[in-house]
Amino acid sequence: MHKTTFNCLGLTKRIVQTLKKQQYAFPTPIQEKAIPLLIERNDLLGIAQTGTGKTAAFGLPILHHLSLEEKRPVAKSTRALILAPTRELAVQIGDALKVYGRDIPLRHTVVFGGVGQNAQVTAMRRGVDILVATPGRLLDLFNQKHIRLDFVSYFVLDEADRMLDMGFIHDVQKITALLPTERQTLLFSATMPPGVIRLANKILHNPKEVSVAPTATPVKTVEQKVIFIDREKKRSCLVKLLQEATFDRVIVFTRTKHKAGKLAEQLTKSGIKSDSLHGDKSQSARQKALDLFKSGKVSVLVATDIASRGIDVDDVTHVINYELPMVPEDYVHRIGRTARAGASGSALSLCDKSEIPHLTKIEQLIKTKIEILEGERPQSDPPERSGKISKKKRKKRKKSFKKIVNF
């Protein structure tokens, strides 16, 4: 069966040669669909999750266009702007652009909060060809007149649904209003809630739409199992699991920042090299945790859902859901952290009685009954009782979910 190569997508020879040197042989489905459309300068609505190759899908056409335009950036300005919801994702995009554009004489930088701004201000002084930024720090530097946005020709909004969850949509709207109307705009989102649809309708002009079926992808490649267990026994069960040799590089998910930090400390005291990744940590501490995990000096990373979006680490052997997510789609995002790049992986969920409704919704979403490794599935509460509780619980869950995502 004939496979499309990067050579067939219309990219410059220099970019194709760089990809060949880096051993990128064939484009992913979203790259194959999006790159030709973007080279033709269409606006684009891309529906895709992390791990599908979307950074190259938008990054390569931007490098293509900028390398062909004989322009230099104006002081404090950027020719292309890429907005990302988290610091980790912004850094990850910046690192990818460095690899893809290593043979092209273009300047790029990354700006984000949580660190001092001096180095970022200095990097922007001469102007850059590509700026990757988180919304808050970008607006901050703009208001201080360290950045100008009137020369942006290419605008990418990545993970728009996560922007919405984290309360950044108003900042995104402010930034969009500062950009030139004549530009190419790309919006990527894993899901399309009403807020993202409204934003897409507002900022995209006659867009082409590309999507890759994301929900089934990790489900098919990840071995999934569940252990039914009392809540108070979860920690000792987790320690026992992590002491097994096969649990080599593991991401453990919790619902809250507090639980992530506390659990990582408890695991370390139990002799398991662990660190945590969550929004209350400084940027330098988060980057250090990620580097330790990537290098193998730490074998377990305890993370919250939002912080985990910046984790792009190969050879993660297991994902453990210490607490099941309240949003079933987040389960798919979580287990997608393993079985990347064709490797195999396992996902194990520790489920107590209170989490049965979350498990049921997850199984409905993935259209699969998750295999039971240990324990018995507890019976649901009787309908008359659960009906009374559900409204109160729903309100509490909505409130707590807002707290979780607001970091």
Q: What residue ranges do the domains of the chain occupy?
A: 6-211, 216-405
The per-residue pLDDT for 152 is 98
Confidence at 407, pLDDT banded by 50, 70, 90: very low
Q: Is 228 left (phi over 0), alpha (psi -120 to 50) or beta?
A: beta
Residue, of 135 and 213, whose pLDDT is higher: 135
Confidence at 310, pLDDT banded by 50, 70, 90: low
Ranking 14-28, 302-316, 379-393 by mean pLDDT, the lowest is: 379-393
Q: Model's pTM, two decimal places?
A: 0.62
Residue 366 has pLDDT above 60, yes or no: yes
- How far is 45 from 397, CA to CA, in rounded Å? 31
How high is the mean pLDDT of the chain? 86
Q: Are 6-211 and 216-405 equal in CATH topology?
A: yes
* Contacts of 367 by beta carbon, 8 Å cutoff, 6+ apart: none
- How far is 333 from 159, CA to CA, in rounded Å? 12
- How far is 46 from 202, CA to CA, in rounded Å? 15
DSSP summary character for residue 45: E
CATH number for 6-211 (one of 3.40.50.300, 3.40.640.10, 1.20.1050.10, 3.20.20.10): it is 3.40.50.300
Q: Please give the structure tokens belonging to residue 325.
A: 């997510």
The length of the chain in residues reads 407
Ranking 162-166, 169-173, 249-253, 371-375 by mean pLDDT, the lowest is: 162-166
Confidence at 391, pLDDT banded by 50, 70, 90: low
Confidence at 161, pLDDT banded by 50, 70, 90: confident
Residue 387 has pLDDT above 50, yes or no: no
- How far is 300 from 92, CA to CA, in rounded Å? 20
Mean pLDDT throughout 31-41?
96
- How far is 156 from 67, CA to CA, in rounded Å? 18
Confidence at 39, pLDDT banded by 50, 70, 90: very high
Q: Please give the structure tokens belonging to residue 250.
A: 């593991």
Q: Give yes or no for a contact between 66 and 32, defined as CB atoms under 8 angstroms apart.
A: no
Residue 106 has pLDDT above 90, yes or no: yes
Say what percent of the chain tops pLDDT 90: 57
Mean pLDDT throughout 364-377?
89
Number of C-beta neighbours around residue 30 at 10 A? 23
- Phi–psi pair at 230, nearest 5 degrees: -70, 145
The distance of Cα 342 from the centroid of its chain, to the nearest Å, equals 19
pLDDT per residue as tens digits for the range 179-217: 999 999 999 998 888 889 999 999 999 999 998 864 444
Say yes or no: domain 216-405 is CATH 3.30.930.10.
Answer: no
Q: What is the CA radius of gyration of the chain?
A: 22
pLDDT per residue as tens digits for the range 258-268: 899 999 999 99
